[in-house]
């Protein structure tokens, strides 16, 4: 695809990582555990790369960073909905690999040491706020669940907001996970009961 092909994509994202609740990366830029494992599912609601519509396409990115994200050398696995056309897959790969510019993918591309995929798999994403879920049968299982007050046991609603705009999203609904695991060949991670978030993302190179 031409390097300057314009794109605009709006998607619902469901993410989780190895950080404790809140995710220290959101505040100081360095993960709680010294390394960063994450899973993010994207359900594209309104997207176009040039003349290619991406409406309804689902994507999952799983990654293992030995240190902070900005320190690089990540092992990344990419899944794209098996219902997507070859044109849609090519368009998404051009965006997610940073080839077309635009944040956050232009910056993230330089942090990847090993990329596997895109794998064409069935992808199930349920968008339900703090109860959202992501599933790639045989590879990815992610189930969000609301945070609960330690004293009352009642569910808590917690948001992280970036009034001037964030790197991944501007407003995130924070949760935790009942299940969070990935397995693809030698790539494996599992961090239940850690940070999770549901948000809307908007990407463009314009």
- Each residue's pLDDT tens digit, 134-170: 999 999 999 999 999 999 999 999 999 999 999 999 9
Tens digit of each residue's pLDDT (9 = 90 or more) over 83-92: 999 999 999 9
The count of C-alpha atoms lying within 13 angstroms of the C-alpha of 181, restricted to the half-sphere facing its C-beta, is 8
Q: 201 by DSSP, 3-state: which?
A: strand
List Cβ neighbours of 27 (8 Å cut-off, separation of 6 or more).
none
Q: What is the mean pLDDT of residues 178-190?
A: 97
Q: 194 by DSSP, 3-state: which?
A: coil
Tens digit of each residue's pLDDT (9 = 90 or more) over 37-85: 999 999 999 999 999 999 999 999 999 999 999 999 999 999 999 999 9
Domain of 66 in residue numbering reads as 7-204
Position 1 in a domain:
no
Position 85 in a domain:
yes
Q: 88 by DSSP, 3-state: which?
A: helix
Position 20 in a domain:
yes
H-type helices in the chain, by residue range?
86-96, 105-109
Q: Is the model's pLDDT at 2 over the cut of 60? A: no
Longest dimension (CA), the chain: 56
What share of the chain in percent tops pLDDT 90? 93
Q: How far is CA 58 from CA 44, 127, 150, in A?
A: 6, 12, 35
Q: Are 97 and 128 in contact (CB under 8 A)?
A: no
Q: Is the model's pLDDT at 1 over the cut of 70? A: no
pLDDT of residue 24: 84
Cis status, amide bond into 118, omega within 30 of 0: yes
Cα separation, 146 vs 25, whole angstroms: 20
The predicted model scores a pTM of 0.94
**Length of the chain as a residue count:** 206
Q: How many domains does the chain have?
A: 1
């Amino acid at each position: 695809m031409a390097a300057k092909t314009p794109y605009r994509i709006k998607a619902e994202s469901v993410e989780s990582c190895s950080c404790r609740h809140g995710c220290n990366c959101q505040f100081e830029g360095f993960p709680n555990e010294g390394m960063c494992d994450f899973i993010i599912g994207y359900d594209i609601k309104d997207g176009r790369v040039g003349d290619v519509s991406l409406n309804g396409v689902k994507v999952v990115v799983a990654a293992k960073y030995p240190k902070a994200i900005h320190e690089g050398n990540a092992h990344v696995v990419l899944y794209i909905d098996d219902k997507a056309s070859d044109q849609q897959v090519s368009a998404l790969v051009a965006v997610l690999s940073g080839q077309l510019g635009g944040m956050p993918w232009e910056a993230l591309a330089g942090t990847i040491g090993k990329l596997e995929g895109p794998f064409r798999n069935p992808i199930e994403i349920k968008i339900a706020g703090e109860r959202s879920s992501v599933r790639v049968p045989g590879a990815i299982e992610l189930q969000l669940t609301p945070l609960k007050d330690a004293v009352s046991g009642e569910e808590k609603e917690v948001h992280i907001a970036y009034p001037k705009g964030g790197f991944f999203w501007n407003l995130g609904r924070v949760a935790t996970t009942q299940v969070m695991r990935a397995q693809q060949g030698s790539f494996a991670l599992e961090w239940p009961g850690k940070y999770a978030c549901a948000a809307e993302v908007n990407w463009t190179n314009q």
